[in-house]
Chain A
């Protein structure tokens, strides 16, 4: 993942805090936040994950003019395409269903705040294989993403581990 410009905005922080059911006013009330130890609004601990919003190439967001693999006329939008286009269409296809998030780690050098304009750059980390409990190979891969601010200072280091399963995961 590469994001050139991830502006941290108060409304986005408020929406994200609502989405994780956190009513702490440090995420929405600037006046309250001014009176806290932090002194200003900050983002919740997992907020940088929302950098996906600013990743032009992010494949888990429908884009105008690009076939989307979620349901439409058919259970998958890709089924509505002529065979030739199906092959060409990228965007994950049914494969996205077999790609699951296995681990996520954040290291906070400081906490992002409104006014920050972050960049994100990812590097491939380790990769390894494991046998699934019910057979089938599990392929793990790690990606390390560095979030830097407008001064080039490191703000958050995020390490994500994805796993590709050859069948739906057990739940």
Chain B
């Protein structure tokens, strides 16, 4: 179910809660699936006493992965051609993240219809945790 260029307009927004009350276990799941076992994400003893943080925090790539769900739900499966983010703020257990994709451009390149999205994911305080952009192939 792909998007149609004719049905989109610049400024149009798509938004969803991508995680509600992030659990430490979800972070452990991400460590296990991705293979990134950096103890700052799962080891409270290490992260507080050695690394000097108040507690464990999520992998940036977990926030990017959670946000990816909004993008693929919006543009359809297998349609993304680009997805990039900056990690601007740490994400902590208990955080609730809302991802928002805003239509930045609808364009044609070599006969292909493309959609550019601005992407921002914010926490429960309204602070951006990641910002970025994505591009997808859409139907005419």
Q: Please determine whether B30 and A20 come into contact, CB atoms closer than 8 angstroms.
A: yes
Question: How many A-B contacts at CB < 8 Å in the complex?
Answer: 160
Q: Does B65 contact A (CB under 8 A)?
A: yes
User: Chain B interface secondary structure, helix, strand, loop or mixed?
Assistant: mixed
Instruction: Choose from A21, A75, A110 the contact partner of B18 (Cβ within 8 Å).
Output: A21
Q: Please determine whether A16 and B77 come into contact, CB atoms closer than 8 angstroms.
A: no
Given A20-B68, A97-B51, A171-B53, decide whether A38 and B33 contact each other with a Cβ distance below 8 A.
no
Q: Please determine whether B77 and A36 come into contact, CB atoms closer than 8 angstroms.
A: yes
Q: Please determine whether B92 and A46 come into contact, CB atoms closer than 8 angstroms.
A: no
Q: Does B138 contact A (CB under 8 A)?
A: no
Q: Please determine whether B77 and A108 come into contact, CB atoms closer than 8 angstroms.
A: no
Q: Please determine whether A75 and B49 come into contact, CB atoms closer than 8 angstroms.
A: yes
For B84, what are the chain A residues with a Cβ–Cβ distance below 8 Å?
103-106, 159
Q: Does B38 contact A (CB under 8 A)?
A: yes
Stretch at the interface among B5-13, B40-48, B104-112: B40-48
Q: Please determine whether B69 and A20 come into contact, CB atoms closer than 8 angstroms.
A: yes
Give the interface residue-count category, chain B.
35 or more
Q: Please determine whether B35 and A50 come into contact, CB atoms closer than 8 angstroms.
A: yes
Interface residues of A, count at CB 8 A: 51
B16 → chain A closest CB, angstroms: 11
Stretch at the interface among A56-64, A120-128, A131-139, A145-153: A56-64
Q: Please determine whether B69 and A168 come into contact, CB atoms closer than 8 angstroms.
A: no
Q: Does A76 contact B (CB under 8 A)?
A: yes
Closest residue of chain A to B30, judged by CB? A19
For B71, what are the chain A residues with a Cβ–Cβ distance below 8 Å?
45
Between A and B, 20 residue pairs with Cβ closer than 8 Å are A15-B29, A16-B33, A26-B77, A49-B36, A49-B61, A60-B36, A60-B38, A61-B35, A70-B39, A71-B46, A71-B49, A75-B48, A75-B49, A104-B85, A104-B87, A106-B82, A106-B84, A111-B80, A167-B52, A168-B53
